A and B are shown apart, each in its own frame.
Chain A
Amino acid sequence: MHPFALSRADDPATAVAIQTRDPGLAFIAGGTDLIGLMKDRAALPERLLDINHLPGMSYIEARADGGLRIGALARMSDVAASLAVRERFPLIAEALLFAASGQLRNMASIGGNIMQRTRCAYFRDEDDLPCNKRRPGSGCSARHGLNRNHAIFGWSDACVATNPSDLAVALAALDAQVIVRGRTGERSIPITEFHRLPGDTPERDNALDRGDLIVAVDVAARREARASHYLKVRDRQSFEFALVSAAAGIAIDGRSIASARLALGGVAHKPWRLRAAETALRGVSLDDRDALRSAIAASFAEARALAHNAFKIELAQRVVVRALQVAGERT
């Protein structure tokens, strides 16, 4: 394995300062993604800064206003088990529980989860295959290669990868905020703007700059949060990333949808909000499958299939219908 030096950060300000100065340094939290990337030589940091001991970053705070604030170092398993999370935001608990495995969730942090890099097999191959995300300018092997698992929304010829985080999809549906501490102090980035589309610079996954440390995720109370569901479709029953997933939350008026929040996973370089569908769903009855389908279709005009993933366009729409129906059963 690629050699590296390991040191430990004891306060956030120093962590931010050290990384700002040092382009060869990476933060390490649970290490469940970063170590894998290093073994595959898709990340070659010379120095690792262990942020696990940063004080006051592992909390799960159920706020009096019904919202939630989760420290970036809280572990996926703890957040999934939290009563407040399960009651107020069932879709967050589900997104976490359907992710990875028990052992991984015990290690993996919330900050690390939304930072995890794509599972594109070309990107992760030990052999440094043509991949613009890994080596800018080297080409995109997946664009005309094996791309069953790749994007149907928002891709560019430079990169057709998807973001693998389940949690981020649930957070996107809820319009959560990512709280970041950087060179100039703390700022808040909407999760829907946190991850980027690939464009011509797929090597950049997200909006963070050097030195930026995620300190928390903030989820405001939403009236669509209780009747919510995270539905993940994957090739096997457990321990696998989503082919397509949907986070759905609704507010109901009788049997019809008063308002809806919808985001898809496994379909784009970022969690994919279905805003047009959300609008079209207002007033639609949960029992009217055809009406649900045509409302959802409003967001799929812009879907573009690759050679091996056309099925995802249909699958994603069926997944959304199912997620809405299950959410509806929870009202």
Chain B
Amino acid sequence: MSAIGQPISRTDGSLKVTGRARYTGDIRVSGAVHAALVQSTIASGRIASIDTSAAEEAGVLGVFSYRNLPRMNPTPKPWSHLHPHGQGYLPLQDDKIHYAGQPIAMVVASKLDQAVQAATLIKVHYEVAQPVVFDADTTRAAIDPPQFLWPVASSVGDADKGIAAAAVKIAETYATPDRHHNQMEPHATTAMWDADGSLTLYDTTQHLYGARELIAMVLGIPVDKITIMCEFLGGGFGGKAYVWPHTLLAILAAKAVRRPVRLQLTRAQMYSMVGHQAATIQTIALGADNGGKLTGIRHESISPAPVFDNYIEYAALSSRSLWAASGGIATNHKIVHVNRNTPTAMRSPHEALGHFALESAMDELAYATGIDPIELRLVNDTATDPHSGRPFSTRAMRKCLIEGAARFGWESRSPTPRSMREGRHLISEGTAAEIYTHWRWPAKARVTINGDGSALVETGSHDLGTGTYTVMRQVAADTLGVAPEKVTVRLGDTRLPPSHASIGSATMANAGASVLLAAESARDKAIRLALTGRDAPFTRGQGADIRVAEGTLTLAHSNVSISYGDLLARNGLPNLVAEADYDPVPEHEGPKAIFSFSAVFAEVRVDPELGIVRLNRFVGAYDAGRIINPKTARSQAIGGIIWGVGQVLLEQSETDPTLGRFLNRNYSGYLVPTNADIPELDILFVGDFDEEASPLGAKGLGELTAVSVAPAIANAVFHATGKRIRRLPISLEKLM
């Protein structure tokens, strides 16, 4: 039986629930000492004086500030995934203060509590300047940033003309707040130097090789002297994909004190030492004819960036490719430089922000035209990517909408707002569609078939908690024709064949492809041995005639067969090793436009008197190509939906306008959903094998599932109350 397509439980599940999985911060390194950080309490200005004497006298191993920390090389420009810095402004290099929570000193001591306590003894005097925050005033000074991922602006056709001539027009402003990843596992680095100048790191990273490149460049260390390990990650969500200042600090501290140094961020430090999702203010204009067919889309977004970096939340990106618009589509992004740390990708970066605006506006259009929201989307479905003009490789949007609606029972919905009741509550239903970028990235892998019939998969990919160990095992097992239990998977170490960042939901399609190719190559080596090796068992036939199953090679139309073990033994080989180098052309250079799609459906219950919104049920229909493991895929979907519920109803990192700092820096103040907030979630996969996306046929899934939860629920809230909430989160005062 094929392992691919089976709902296999994750192989590391029991390790995790029994506490035996080794997470970075928990790994005990003998002789390791601890670093604690001092952070700026002001958001703008400079350090007038810093007195570290009391800390130095507290029996610590080292105290560092801009006065004595070695200088680093500037981060490489332009920014690239190949050498990914989280933040261009490097720690403890000068006396400037650009944001609240900026690291300004570091104490290293034998014990953690000693380091933390000594850090409190450092006295800092500041020259305080008034911080600039992201608000209605400062957004007026928004500027055009340079490109860093996609083009900043786009224009196909003449969107404005298309909108001006439209029978029905929607023009609204939507806003999303700052948010933080709040991964359960805090960021941590343990850095160890060897006498020969080689550096070993345990680091919470979604991007081993990018981190290695960046560290090498910034700290001037040869790349081949650096080893980074990360066996398990307790949640990444984009927030651990880039190198943040604490990692650099731990490395330099370890060098200075000549001991391994462990630096783990506190929950509060995770609000300024690493990235976050920046707020957006988005304006969107739609034009349509009376039949709901779009004649133009204009979507623009403004987001804050720090004074030293040009990070862009590409909120208008999705409007380039989700729906066809006969007149044209125009998008643009601007940024405002303010006093804060650098934002970064956060599930689902760009898309989940833009879809809130675009798919809410589509719902507004549905009401304005009197067309059912599903019908409206079907009318605007397209087989060609409006942005690039290329045909989509696969686009099961229709299936998502129709099968999802059937499962949800959409046809019994009464479209009039406030028309469905249950006791004190208003019941309502909303929907939204989603499109998510697909990445094609190079990846390498090695597969070994052992003499005992077992196999080893090695690739420098990552398991963020997503199930990478499990799905790679399935891919190798099927390709080699062995039982999944026979396959061991090793990930998370730069000494393995290099893979890409585990971001953008790209791991299954790309790292998975490299495992597929390496396993095929190992299997083919075995087949060649069986045909031409010592005492070859198969005296006729060719590769295509040989089937492998349950660890045994069998010649078609014969009863001649041999196990991998016997084959290796017969040839005097301990094992067979094969490597693969999956090197696809980047998606944007390919002949087809590749995206994942979905349609989601929410039923909510609103207590109109008290303004309380709770989710009753949720159906998601996803086209993520071929599903390798429906169980881990479903877990991704559940996680994504819950993530979206947080976005739409709860999450926001508020900035104090005077102090210019994030407040509520913990799980008590930053609310994420609890189990009590989440009902049964119903997940459907409707996609087919997509050969353009990956030799495995898989497209990205994880991030897709968090993209349009917010507009689906916001649209349901409108259906319940007649109130259109255009500023997230939908807190109760907005509905009272």
Contacts and interface: CB of A to CB of B under 8 A. Distances in A.
B671 A235 contact: yes
A121 B664 contact: yes
B610 A145 contact: no
B675 A125 contact: no
Contact of B731 (A122, A144, A146, A235): A235
Interface in A73-123: 119, 121-122
Interface in A306-323: 311, 314-315, 318-319, 322
Contacts of A146: 654, 656, 663
B654 A233 contact: no
Interface string B255-281: 000000000001010000000000000
Interface string A51-64: 00000000000000
Contacts of A243: 732
A303 to B, nearest CB: 15
B609 A238 contact: no
Contacts of B675: 238
Contact of B117 (A2, A129, A314, A315): A2
Interface string B625-665: 00000000000000000000000011000101111000111
A240 interface: yes
A239 B676 CA distance: 9
Contacts of B732: 233, 235, 243, 311, 315
A235 B663 contact: no
A165 interface: no
A236 B671 contact: yes
Contacts of B41: 127-129
Contacts of B611: 315
B650 A236 contact: yes
A127 B117 CA distance: 14
A119 to B, nearest CB: 7
B131 to A, nearest CB: 13
A121 B676 contact: no
Given A125-B665, A237-B676, A141 B736 contact: no
Interface of B: 39, 41, 113, 116-117, 120, 266, 268, 609-612, 614, 649-650, 654, 656-659, 663-665, 668-669, 671, 673-677, 731-733, 736
A262 B736 CA distance: 22
Contact of B674 (A121, A126, A141, A236): A236
Interface residues of A, number: 32
A314 B733 CA distance: 10
B610 A319 contact: yes
Contacts of A41: 120
A1 interface: yes
A144 B659 CA distance: 11
Secondary structure of the B side of the interface?
A: loop
Nearest to B645: A236
Interface string A202-240: 000000000000000000000000000000010111111
B659 A236 contact: no
Nearest to B669: A121
A3 B118 CA distance: 11
Contacts of A119: 668-669
B116 A1 contact: yes
Highest count of chain A CB atoms <10 Å: which of B39, B614, B671: B671
A236 B677 contact: yes
B117 A3 contact: yes
Given A3-B117, A235-B732, A145 B609 contact: no
A148 B669 CA distance: 12
Contacts of A2: 117, 120
A314 B39 CA distance: 40
A116 to B, nearest CB: 12
Contacts of A319: 610
B117 A311 contact: no
Highest count of chain A CB atoms <10 Å: which of B116, B117, B266, B732: B732
Contacts of B736: 311, 314-315, 318
20 contacts: A3-B113, A121-B663, A122-B656, A125-B665, A126-B665, A127-B39, A128-B41, A129-B41, A129-B659, A141-B658, A145-B657, A145-B658, A235-B650, A236-B649, A237-B614, A237-B674, A237-B676, A238-B676, A238-B677, A315-B732
A128 B610 CA distance: 35
Nearest to B101: A127
Contact of A1 (B113, B669, B674): B113
A129 B662 CA distance: 12
Contacts of B609: 318, 322
Contacts of B665: 125-126
Contacts of A233: 610, 612, 732
Given A119-B668, A121-B669, A311-B733, 10 more contacts: A1-B116, A3-B117, A122-B656, A129-B659, A235-B671, A236-B649, A236-B673, A236-B674, A236-B676, A315-B611
A191 B662 CA distance: 35
B270 to A, nearest CB: 12
